[in-house]
Structure 1
């Protein structure tokens, strides 16, 4: 019986106890298959690392998604210290899925928070099979399973797939788009306008110096009128979803 069948039968039977094997048995079975099967050496080394970390501390968390042929698809792993940090600083979490520079072409996703000293600290890592909704759904479900609770606030880049997943999987989490990713796109999105330099300066002044939500709305409306940006779909989209935020 291959790994996917084991997982499906486990769910349908109501838990591993009804099948005569434990969750640890299932995890070890999957890990052993990946370590001994004809997979890339990097996957085998990754699984060896996870097993070593699990031996050092049983609270180390990792979970692997396989396809019907028992081939590696996605993985989530959380260090024990990262999980402890989430309990203290997990109110606001930033998720970055823009890394895809590894030689296997697997998107890398990181979960980051900021501690009381203003320092960014890694909470969680994941490798995705692809950047489609089912992959993100699996990553977020496993992450919440590990942490026990969803964050109060989550900040992401402007990925619509992630937006849909968070809206459905984390309905009580307030989602905002990262200002750094937005401002990084300004030259590409707005450089074609004749008064781009003034436009750029005014937009940054509104974003960073508006003291209240009301003043931001008033300044933004004047800004759109001043530069005749009513038909700019990209700018309109930022406010339609109400995700233009100064959090970073």
Structure 2
């Protein structure tokens, strides 16, 4: 019972109090609070001596007995664990469907060895976080990140089209070397979080500078020309035209400002790595900095189990509830080709409420199949081997791109 409760971050004292309530009194537990604490201490001492070995052995046994389970690790010449990556079959299946944009944050340390836990996070068909894989790293070097990215590519077969993370130079170099086909996105939150430090407290607190800048940064409704005009005006109004840091981040604008990827296939996903950070927060609630690696793996498995239960519940709820639609477009009635200036379909892969309103007014009885993307359907991930999905995903990407091109051409011809 003590060991099972530790899987959800319940310590020996709380475990004792829970068992006291369950059995009806202190005298009915069969042990004292001190006995509970001593048992847990002895268990940790046992784990401490063989912790990394037991941790690796447990994952490698999963690789041996579970279908399509991947695990790779690396040690020093002395046998000390340097890094490890793992992903099970469900994570891979989710990656094939929801891995169009992934985010990860390697700044999270939740074990007694101060190693970094790195969850890879995507967005499922319910717009919820889904863990696509995990790793533990001993350091943040380009060599370490390169090893990790190679392990991911070996496990899944291909790199994600877009990866969102914070400004880590070693990570940027590793992506360029190992995943040259992927587009590297900077986390907007991490960039803007430095604003006060770089520009000054007085300017950010006593003027509307931060508010005006946030208005043009945190929006995907502006075209890039409008963004550049507004950015220049703000810097001019506050005498910041020659500010070194603002000039630097402006030079990186195509990597973090939404105005520069309004037409990209992002599936409505992360402009920031906050998805990873919020996932880290969830893991943090069932873990603590004194965790052994074996304990941490138990906590991780517990959270993944809860995550998958929630996904099944969302699938069920989606099948038996109807969405509330609001009014809001241009449409070619002959072949039901639609286009809205809000660009929701181009960015999210979902038609906006404005288009739904027009379709309803025109009494369109059959929903245009070219606008139904598998990744958002209830049947996005099936309980089967992910292998067959590979070809399907490739075909779907091509179809979607052709659809977007067709919409643009039709609208251009109509304007002519």
Q: Is TM more than 0.5 here?
A: yes
Q: Alignment partner of 2:222: what SS?
A: coil
Question: Quick check: 1:245 aligned with 2:257?
Answer: yes
2:4 is aligned to: none
CA contact (8 A) 2:120 2:131 kept: yes
Q: How does 1:37-48 map to 2 (within 5 A)?
A: 40-48=49-57
Question: Quick check: 1:213 aligned with 2:224?
Answer: yes
Q: Alignment partner of 1:123: what SS?
A: strand
1:226 is aligned to: 237
When residues 136 and 195 of structure 1 are mapped into structure 2, their CA distance, relative to the original with a 3 A threshold, is closer
For the residues of structure 1 that align with 2:55 and 2:88, how far apart are their CA atoms?
14
TM-score by length of 1: 0.77
TM-score by length of 2: 0.48
When residues 222 and 113 of structure 1 are mapped into structure 2, their CA distance, relative to the original with a 3 A threshold, is same
When residues 90 and 228 of structure 1 are mapped into structure 2, their CA distance, relative to the original with a 3 A threshold, is same
Where do 5+ consecutive residues of structure 1 fail to align? 1-37
Q: Alignment partner of 1:41: what SS?
A: helix
CA contact (8 A) 2:196 2:204 kept: no
For the residues of structure 2 that align with 1:186 and 1:45, how far apart are their CA atoms?
45
Q: Who wins on radius of gyration, i.e. which is larger?
A: 2
Q: CA RMSD, aligned part only? A: 2.1
Give the deviation of 1:162 after TM superposition: 0.6
For the residues of structure 1 that align with 2:55 and 2:246, how far apart are their CA atoms?
42
Where do 5+ consecutive residues of structure 2 fail to align? 1-46, 259-270, 273-416
| Count of aligned residue pairs for this structure pair | 211
Q: Alignment partner of 1:105: what SS?
A: coil
Q: Which one has more relative contact order, counting CA pairs under 8 Å at least 6 apart?
A: 2
Q: Alignment partner of 1:69: what SS?
A: coil
Higher mean alpha-carbon deviation, 62-71 vs 147-156, is at: 62-71
For the residues of structure 1 that align with 2:200 and 2:51, how far apart are their CA atoms?
43
Give the deviation of 1:39 after TM superposition: 7.8
Give the deviation of 1:186 after TM superposition: 2.7
Q: Alignment partner of 1:175: what SS?
A: strand
Q: How does 1:135-174 map to 2 (within 5 A)?
A: 135-174=144-183
Q: Alignment partner of 1:194: what SS?
A: helix
